[in-house]
């Protein structure tokens, strides 16, 4: 049967299955191939929080959503057009998100009595009307995979594990993707396991040719490459971009990069990535705990390294005392907090923006630090350079607030011209004459004097320092002077960072503000609202302490301000307190990023009516 080819502008696909079904691998391979094809893309991996949840239960469902397009896109999509569900639990946890009338591809072999019971289905959802209204395609994925691999020596369990590659091949055919990039990946990944490599190759090709020969698919689809600025691109996750950004900062500053880290979700990938780059002189130290990790990093800063430490919210709590020590000793260190749902262990694999107040105020005493936040996965690279520059120039700790959505999500990244990246100036004190450890330059920064330099011996520690000399001081006036001086040093950065850029209507009735990973959803929501004639503008904060110099001017220019955040309104609280402006918080605390439709609906409710929305 000859099948039609339909061209689409954009598609959102979600793969979902048990944590042992390889959904993250399937999604990442589909993503990498899509990047090679040249589409713009955005991804949302969704990991189960339970490490070994019972197979077949809803607790163990793993998902991977990919939005790809021939146009510029900002988010991984609100609702999937296609859901590939490998078992009943995956169907139960994801069906409500599938677009009405969307395509549902299910592994019908998994819908047996045992798996239905594990997913708390009393009846088979494929037969009781649950999936009515969707384009349901039932594929015996497990059976077809086993048939394709019947002449291999693999065990029955090993054959079944290859069904994700059968599903991947089928989806490659359906959306006109080449299988060669994944075949090349298999050659590298399983070069020492030829039987596993051959089996996965067979499953991949069998899935592809099943799409070609089966009558369940009458149409295949094509999404043309996106028109992107000329250059060389690669698909990159936020954690990968962050790691490469700090390597670039190391090269541009001439300082060796030292990472002191303790593994914690969702920041561990940064440690994994940096440990692969010893050729750049990167030193990675996996400590026994969070405290040892940050103190080792601070020691590296004292000895003249570009020092960073990576963690998530619970780890920041443990690192707090040493961050205060870095404030007191005025040493440059970058603390990367990849935020996740809290409190305590909370939702370790889910995203949140709930550590802003912790970053700003979560230390004893008056201990200000700079705070920056990237807006997209690719932007993690440039903000790593910026965090390093600020820490070194002003001799302060810098908190770098990423989040689980940015860290695990990916998008096309245009490789920068490395020669055009800005140099990061480093001034080590070398002259002994006239040296005092707390002398100040025009930035109020004290000298960076390396231990062992003759004549530059000086005291460091957590006790209050006397101005200029650095001696221990309990003088009341000196303490107040030093507290205010350290705060002013951070405040002075406002003259060295970009001002807020307002995008949208100059006569807007509403300003939508955000920070971190809300950028894409806010951008799409505002653009859609403006296309419908609403007067809306937006700004995005990448610098949170200090705030951009024109923040007050911008905020006071609008009567209505909306601030979507994945917390209970932390940025709203800061801005209200600082500028005495009325800000309406819009908060979501579900471990998931905003959908652009959620923000668009909120904009409509503020400006009155749906203005023609369907």
Write out pLDDT tens, residues 33-74. Answer: 999 999 999 999 999 988 788 999 999 999 999 999 999 999
Question: Looking at 183, 201, 223, which one is the last position of a domain?
Answer: 223
Q: Does the residue 577 lie in any domain? A: yes
Q: Do residue 216 and residue 96 come from a single domain? A: yes
Residue whose token pair is 């590659």: 165
242 and 190 part of one domain: no
> Token pair of 387, please?
């965090």
pLDDT by residue (tens digit) across 438-457? 999 999 999 999 999 999 99
Residue 260 lies in a domain: yes
- Average pLDDT over the chain, rounded to an integer: 96
497 lies in some domain = no
Q: Give CA separation, 94 vs 80, 126, 204, 262, in Å.
A: 9, 14, 25, 33
CB 403 within 8 A of CB 352: yes
Position 533 pLDDT exceeds 50: yes
Same domain, 338 and 391: yes
Of 362, 395, 420, the position where a domain reaches its end is 420
Helix, strand, coil shares, percent, the chain, to 5: 40, 20, 40
Q: Is the pLDDT confidence value at 614 over 60?
A: no
Distance CA(335)–CA(323), nearest Å, equals 8
Kindly state whether residues 181 and 254 are assigned to the same domain.
no
What's this model's pTM, rounded to 2 decimal places?
0.95
The pLDDT value given to residue 484: 98
Residues 276 and 369 in one domain: yes
Beta strands in 73-171 (DSSP E): 82-85, 103-107, 135-139
Q: What is the reported pLDDT for 506? A: 87
Number of domains in the chain: 3
Q: Are residues 383 and 288 in the same domain?
A: yes
Region 263-292 average pLDDT: 97
Based on the fold, state whether residues 181 and 262 are members of the same structural domain: no
Angle, CA 287 vertex, CA 281 and CA 292 arms, to 5° = 110
Which DSSP state fits 419?
G
Q: Per the domain annotation, does 319 fall within a domain?
A: yes
If you average pLDDT over residues 336-363, what whole number do you get?
97
Would you say residue 612 has pLDDT above 60?
Answer: no
Clarify whether residues 250 and 348 are in a common domain. Answer: yes
Q: Torsion angle of alpha carbons 95, 100, 104, 110, nearest 10°?
A: 30
Are 303 and 383 in a shared domain? yes
> What does the block give as tokens for 478?
């000196």
Pair (208, 238) in one structural domain: no
> What range does the domain containing 575 cover?
503-607
CB-based contact 565:571 (threshold 8 Å): yes
What is the average pLDDT across 332-351? 97
- What is the structure's pLDDT at 610? 62
- Model pLDDT, residue 569: 98
DSSP-derived pairing of the beta strands 10-18 and 61-69? antiparallel
Across the range 180-204, mean pLDDT stands at 96
Average pLDDT over residues 255-265: 98
Whether 14 maps to a domain, the answer reads: yes
Q: Is residue 455 part of a domain?
A: no
For the chain, the C-alpha Rg in angstroms (whole number) is 26
Q: State how far the alpha carbon of 584 is from the alpha carbons of 363, 560, 569, 603, in Å.
A: 28, 8, 9, 11
And the tokens for 124? 């088979």
pLDDT score at 608: 85
Both 192 and 268 in one domain: the answer is no
Q: What is the pLDDT of residues 112-142, one digit of tens each?
A: 999 999 999 999 999 999 999 999 999 999 9
What pLDDT is recorded for position 49? 84
Per the domain annotation, does 461 fall within a domain? no
Q: Quick check: 613 pLDDT over 70?
A: no
273 and 330 both lie in a single domain: yes
Q: Which of 121, 103, 319, 311 is nearest to 219 (CA)?
A: 103
Which residues are within 8 A (CB) of 73 and not within 5 positions of it... i.e. 6 or more apart? Answer: 10, 40, 41, 42, 67, 524
- Give the confidence band of 2 by pLDDT, cuts at 50, 70, 90: low
- In the sheet that 40-46 helps form, which strands lie side by side, from edge to edge? 40-46, 61-69, 10-18, 82-85, 103-107, 135-139
Other beta carbons within 10 angstroms of residue 223's beta carbon come to 23
Are residues 374 and 245 in contact, defined by beta-carbon separation less than 8 angstroms?
no
pLDDT above 70: percentage of residues in the chain:
99
Q: What is the CATH number of the domain that holds 189?
A: 3.40.920.10
Q: Check residue 609 and give its pLDDT.
A: 62
CATH number where 302 lies = 3.40.50.970
Residue 591, domain CATH: 3.40.50.920
Single residue among 420, 437, 471 that ends a domain in this structure: 420
pLDDT (tens digit, 9 = 90+) per residue, 561-601?
999 999 999 999 999 999 999 999 999 999 999 999 999 99
Pairing of strands 510-515, 560-565: parallel
pLDDT surpasses 80 at 611: no
Contacts of 208 (CB under 8 A, 6+ apart): 169, 170, 172, 173, 179
Question: 473 lies in a domain?
Answer: no
CA distance 512 to 402: 20
Residue 507: CB atoms within 10 Å: 7
């Amino acid at each position: 049967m000859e099948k039609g080819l339909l061209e689409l502008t954009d598609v959102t696909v979600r793969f979902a299955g048990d944590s042992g079904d390889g959904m993250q691998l399937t999604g990442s391979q589909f993503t990498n191939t899509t990047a090679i094809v040249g589409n713009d893309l955005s991804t949302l991996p969704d990991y189960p929080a339970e490490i070994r949840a019972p197979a077949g239960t809803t607790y163990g469902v793993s998902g991977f959503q990919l939005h790809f397009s021939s146009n510029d896109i900002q988010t991984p999509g609100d609702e999937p057009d296609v859901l590939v569900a490998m078992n009943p639990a995956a169907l139960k946890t994801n069906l409500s998100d599938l677009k009405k009338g969307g395509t549902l591809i299910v592994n019908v072999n998994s819908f047996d009595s045992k798996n239905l019971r594990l997913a708390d289905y009393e009846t088979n959802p494929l037969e009781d009307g649950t999936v009515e209204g969707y384009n349901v395609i039932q594929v015996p994925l497990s059976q077809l995979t086993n048939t394709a691999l019947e002449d291999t020596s693999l065990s029955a369990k090993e054959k079944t594990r290859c069904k994700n590659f059968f599903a991947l091949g089928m989806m490659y055919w359906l959306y006109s993707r080449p299988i060669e990039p994944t075949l090349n990946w298999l050659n590298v990944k399983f070069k020492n396991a030829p039987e596993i490599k051959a089996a996965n190759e067979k499953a991949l090709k069998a899935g592809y040719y099943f799409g070609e020969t089966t009558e369940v698919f009458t149409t295949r689809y094509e999404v043309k490459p996106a028109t992107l600025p000329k250059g060389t691109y690669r698909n990159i996750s936020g954690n990968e971009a962050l790691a490469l950004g700090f390597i670039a900062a190391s090269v541009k500053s001439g300082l060796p990069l030292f990472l002191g880290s303790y593994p914690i979700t969702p920041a561990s990938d940064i440690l994994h990535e940096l440990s692969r780059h010893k050729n750049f002189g990167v030193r990675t130290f996996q400590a026994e705990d969070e405290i040892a990790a940050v103190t080792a990093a601070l020691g590296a800063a004292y000895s003249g390294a570009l020092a960073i430490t990576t963690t998530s919210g619970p780890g920041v709590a443990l690192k707090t005392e040493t961050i205060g020590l870095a404030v007191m000793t005025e040493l440059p260190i970058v603390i990367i907090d990849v935020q996740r749902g809290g409190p305590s262990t909370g939702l370790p694999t889910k995203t949140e923006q709930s550590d802003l107040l912790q970053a700003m105020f979560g230390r004893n005493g008056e201990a200000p630090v700079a705070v920056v936040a990237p807006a997209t996965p690719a932007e993690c690279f440039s903000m790593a350079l910026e965090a390093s520059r600020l820490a070194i120039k002003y001799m302060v700790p810098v908190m770098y607030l990423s989040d689980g959505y940015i860290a695990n999500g990916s998008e096309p990244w245009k490789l920068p011209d490395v020669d055009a990246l800005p140099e990061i100036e480093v001034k080590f004190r070398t002259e002994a004459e006239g040296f005092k450890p707390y002398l100040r330059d025009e930035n109020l920064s004290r000298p960076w004097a390396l231990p062992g330099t003759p004549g530059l011996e000086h005291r460091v520690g957590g006790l209050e320092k006397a101005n200029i000399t650095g001696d221990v001081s309990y003088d009341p006036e000196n303490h107040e002077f030093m507290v205010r001086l350290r705060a002013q040093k951070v405040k002075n950065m406002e003259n060295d960072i970009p001002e807020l850029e307002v995008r949208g209507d100059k006569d807007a009735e509403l300003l939508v503000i955000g920070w971190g990973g809300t950028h894409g959803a806010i951008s799409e929501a505002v653009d859609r609202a403006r296309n419908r004639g609403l007067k809306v503008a937006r700004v995005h904060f990448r610098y949170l302490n200090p705030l951009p110099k024109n923040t007050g001017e911008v905020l006071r220019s609008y009567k209505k301000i909306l601030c979507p955040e994945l917390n209970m309104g932390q940025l709203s609280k800061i801005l209200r307190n600082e500028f005495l402006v009325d800000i309406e918080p819009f908060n979501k605390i579900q471990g998931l990023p905003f959908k652009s439709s959620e923000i668009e609906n909120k904009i409509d409710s503020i400006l009155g009516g749906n203005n023609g929305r369907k």
